[in-house]
Amino acid sequence: MRCPYCQSQETRVVDSRDIGSGESIRRRRECIACTRRFTTYERVESGSLVIVKRDGRRQEFDPRKLRDKIRIALTKRAVAQEDIDRVVANVEGELLSLGTVEVPSTAIGEAVLRELKQLDEVAYIRFASVYRQFADVDDLRRELDTLADSISQRVGKEPDSSAS
């Protein structure tokens, strides 16, 4: 593995962890030449996925692009990189399990929303506001109400009607 800082070929693995139920491996590496550390990901390359956008355009699925979008939703949130990697791996696994080469972009958005709802409610709302293209505050309020109901059901409580 080439060091991204000094381009040396001499690196060593410092730590390895499974991500997404063993579907990929995260490796921390250290360059022997410059001693800087960096992270690499190793996963089985199964057939490529093609994402069909809302306007009909097609593009190859890029987990890095998805990771970047999730990071934006998680800006200033206390969520570990491993959790983000797990979300990306789970979404990609879900898409691959569909058994088709072409996947609508809406399938990605809905899968990300399901993962973020469990991980971080603020990131969920941030992502939903862009993905669902809220037109006004009423759309946002409806989504917040839906999220609050979902959380209440998960915790086994009745929604608090005095908050409205």
pLDDT per residue as tens digits for the range 13-33: 999 988 766 778 889 999 999
Main-chain phi, psi angles of 117, to 5 degrees? -60, -35
State the amino acid at position 114 in one-letter form: R
- CA distance linking residue 108 with residue 99, whole number of Å: 14
Place of tokens 């983000």: 84
- CA distance linking residue 58 with residue 51, whole number of Å: 6
- CA distance linking residue 57 with residue 133, whole number of Å: 19
Per residue in 99-125, pLDDT (tens digit) is 889 999 999 999 999 999 999 989 988
Beta strands 37-43; 50-52: pairing state: unpaired
- CA distance linking residue 101 with residue 28, whole number of Å: 32
Name the 3-class secondary structure at 59: strand
**What is the dihedral sign for C-alpha 57, 62, 68, 71?**
positive
Longest dimension (CA), the chain: 62
Give the mean pLDDT of 57-63. 93
Query: What is the per-residue pLDDT for 47?
Result: 61
Query: Please, is 8 exposed, middle or buried when counting C-beta atoms within 10 Å of its C-beta (0-12, 13-18, 19+)?
Result: middle
Place of tokens 């946002």: 140
| Pick from 10-19, 121-130, 140-149: least confident | 140-149
Query: What is the per-residue pLDDT for 164?
Result: 45
Query: What is the per-residue pLDDT for 142?
Result: 86
Name the 3-class secondary structure at 1: coil
